[in-house]
Amino acid sequence: MNERILDLKQQLKQHNIQGMIVSNPVNIKYLTSIEAEGILLVNSSENLFLTDSRYVEGVNNLLTIEDEIVVYDFKDLSEIDYENFFPGSESVGFEEDYVVYSEYKRLLQKYKVNFVETDGIIENQRVIKDDEEIKNISKACSITDECFEYILKYIKIGMTEKEIAEEMRSFMIKAGADDLSFDTIVASGKNSSIPHAVPTNKKIVGDEVLLLDFGCKYKGYCSDCTRTIYIGKAPQEFKDNYKFVLSEQEQLLKSLRDGVNLKTEIADRVYSYQKNHYSIFHSFGHGVGLDIHETPSLNNKKDYILKKNMVVTDEPGIYFPGKYGIRIEDTVLINNMWSDRLTKSNKNLIELEL
């Protein structure tokens, strides 16, 4: 049986849970590499993947005997089959943050077991990345870097934010990305002061800030990168603020390391320092993997110890509502003494003369 499923079973056992229904497709992909629609049932003796006729053949071709996963077509299953999937199980886990209420009720009716909330168990397994995962994230990051280099040459006065976002998308897909990891943010002028800006038809006019937040997926794994540049010659005030965010981002890069406590050793310092200077709208980072936002969230809410081979973002930002915003973000790999950047694009202030 594959190690990820073995780990899951081990954890369920520790929680005194005899089985689990995995519905979240990202968790199914993580545990089995299956990307078809369906659900994974894990009980004490076996693993089943229930899917529909469109996928049965493809999934069977993908799996090997070592996977120990039996594939069923929904339409071949009777009421009795469902009731027998978790024999002798007192508690069966389900993903309460993924399953909608109506589906939860259907699960109760079908399986006739006691369901307990187990969202987070697989998500916590996913936090530490193995070599293959780091390789895929690194590849997504390098496509992202190529995109930044390319787009700097492409941007012209008069282009809209939307046009630039489309060109970035097109570049990354052609460079081998499966997909974007999220909708690209291209925010110019005062739009850059909105942390989650959506590209508009506003044209690049020059003498303004341009913030680009973008990433792509490679074999399902995400990258995430933000750069803030100036179109034209940057005023001193902007330069000073840029310098501040950059030094903050580089300090974080050194602080994010194996064994560090996010709340007590990092977040409190960052937030208390920044509170005196600027408003903070968002956490200063998040886990990255098969999802663009994964565990952990980098903030001051609770104690959380970083571990080697976690992949997170390092993204402090400051925002002057109605004026401009500056955010610098890298995807980084947690190591013993510091973190290593996986996105490696230039972070020195770029003043783009067009």
Per rule CB under 8 A, count of chain residues that contact its own copies: 23
CA angle 137, 60, 28 (to 5 degrees): 40
CB of 314 to its own copies, least distance (A): 22
Residues between 181 and 200 that touch its own copies (CB under 8 A): 194-196
* Minimum CB distance to its own copies smaller for 202 or for 239: 202
- Decide if 161 contacts 209 (C-beta within 8 A): no
Residues between 275 and 294 that touch its own copies (CB under 8 A): 281
Q: Does 25 bind its own copies (CB under 8 A)?
A: no
Give φ, ψ of 179 to 5 degrees: -170, 175
| Distance (Å, whole) CA 215 – CA 227 | 12
Q: In the stretch 145-164, what mask flags binding to its own copies with x, by CB under 8 A?
A: -----------------x--
CA dihedral 189, 346, 132, 287 (to 10 degrees): -40
Q: Of the candidates 7, 119, 258, 265, which one interacts with its own copies according to CB under 8 A?
A: 119
172-207: b (≥16 Cβ within 10 Å) or e: beeeebeebbbebbbbbbbbbbbbebebeebbbebe
Q: Of the candidates 100, 276, 336, 353, which one interacts with its own copies according to CB under 8 A?
A: 100
CB of 126 to its own copies, least distance (A): 19
* Minimum CB distance to its own copies smaller for 162 or for 308: 162
Which residues, listed in sequence order, are joined to residue 73 by a DSSP beta bridge?
51
Give φ, ψ of 316 to 5 degrees: -70, 155
| Distance (Å, whole) CA 139 – CA 146 | 11
CB of 37 to its own copies, least distance (A): 9
Q: Does 97 bind its own copies (CB under 8 A)?
A: yes
CB of 154 to its own copies, least distance (A): 14
Q: Does 54 bind its own copies (CB under 8 A)?
A: yes
CB of 250 to its own copies, least distance (A): 27
Backbone φ/ψ region at 33: left (φ over 0), alpha (ψ -120 to 50), beta: left
